Amino acid sequence: MAKEKIGVVLLNLGGPDSLDAIQPFLYNLFSDHDIIQIPKPIQKPVAFLISRLRAKKTKKYYEIMGGKSPQKEQTLQQAQKLQERLGEDYKVVVAMRYWHPFTEEALSQLFQEKIKKIILLPLYPQYSRTTTGSSFNEFDRKVKRYIKPGKFAVLSTLKGTKEPYYYFSSIPIVKINCYFDNPLYIKAMVENIKESLPKDHKDYYFLFTAHSLPEKIILDGDPYKKQTETTVKLIMDHFPNVKHSLAYQSKVGPVKWLEPFTDQEIERLIKEGYKKLVVIPVSFVSEHSETLYELDYQYGNMAKELGAESFIRIPTLKTHPMFIETLKELVIKNS
C-alpha cells in the first residue's frame, strides 16, 4: 500500500519562459481581479488589449535578460532543495499564478501520490492580497475542479453545469500567510547580504527595494507595506550605524502607488553624496524582470551615469541554504 504524504505547494508569480509567452503571461496577469479591479464584464477584453500593447515594449526587457524569465527554473530548484530536506514523507510541487506550471498542473502532479494534508507555502514573505491572496484564491478555485479521483475524493457537480469535479474535502489544507518576521528568514536575508558585501561596508548606504502596490490597496487594509517595513527593521538590527531607506519599484498604470520610487531614491541619494550603494531586493526570493532588468540594467546604468562609485545589487535568496531551512521549518511547524 502506498504511503500517505503531506503535500507542499510552493506558490509563486511565474514569468514568461520564452518571448512568445510574454503576451499570454501579461494577459493572465491583467485578468486577475485580485490585482486589477476593473468591472469584471470588461476585464478580460481590457486585459487582452493591455497585454497586446505592453508585450512589444516588454519584449525588449526579456531580450536583454536572455529571452525569458529565470523564475521558473529557480523556483523548481527551490522545490527540489526543499524536497531533499523534507524527505519522502512529503511531496513538494510548484504552482505559478500566471504561467506554467499553473496551479492545476501542480495539483495534477500532487495527487499522483496519496495525500493526507496540504500545506500552501507562498514564496512571498510579506502578505498581500495581490500576491499570496491571489494565489490562495486560485488554489481554492482549482482544487475543486478535475482532480484525479482517489481515496479521499468527493465526487460532485459544479453548480449550474454538468462538469464533474473532485473536492478533497477530508484533507486538511493549511495556508501559511506570511513569514516576514520569521527569525530564520531574517537570518537568511542577513547572511545573503553579508556574502555580497566588502569587508568594510560602513561607508555604504543600504537601499531596500520592494515591489510597489497601488496606495488604495494599502489604505483598504493590506498589510504588505507594514510587513515590509518590519522586515527591513529586523534586518538592519544586524547592521548598526549603517544608513538605509526603503523604496518601491515596478509601478504600472496611472493611479497613485507606494513611494518613494526606487529610481528616484537612487538619484536623490547620489546627488546628496552617497556614492556607494547596496541595493537589496526585499520582497523577491528569485530573479525576474524586476531585478535583472529594472535593478541591474536600468537602475545600475543610471547610478553609474549619475556618478556612483559602487553599485552592489544583492542577489535574491534563491536556494540559499538558510532560506531553504526557513521553508523547511515552516512546513514542519504546520505539518
Annotated binding-site members: 211, 290
For residue 277, list its beta bridge partners: 205, 311
**Distance, CA of 13 to CA of 100 (rounded, Å):** 10
Residue 254 CB neighbours (<10 A): 6
Grid cell in block for residue 129: 492580497
Q: Collect all residues with Cβ–Cβ distance below 8 Å to 308 and sequence separation of at least 6.
A: 270, 275, 276, 277
Grid cell in block for residue 118: 496540504
Using CA atoms, how far residue 126 sits from 112, 217, 225, in Å, is 31, 14, 8
Give the 3-state secondary structure of residue 11: strand
Give the 3-state secondary structure of residue 188: helix
**Annotation: binding site for Fe(2+):** 211, 290
Grid cell in block for residue 285: 526570493
Q: Please answer whether residues 35 and 133 qualify as being in contact, where contact means their C-beta atoms are separated by less than 8 angstroms.
A: no
Longest dimension (CA), the chain: 68
Q: Collect all residues with Cβ–Cβ distance below 8 Å to 262 and sequence separation of at least 6.
A: 207, 209, 247, 248, 249, 279, 294, 295, 299
For residue 121, list its beta bridge partners: 10
Q: Which amino acid is at 300?
A: G
Q: Which amino acid is at 229?
A: E
Reported as half-sphere exposure (CB side, CA atoms, 13 A), residue 113 has a value of 20
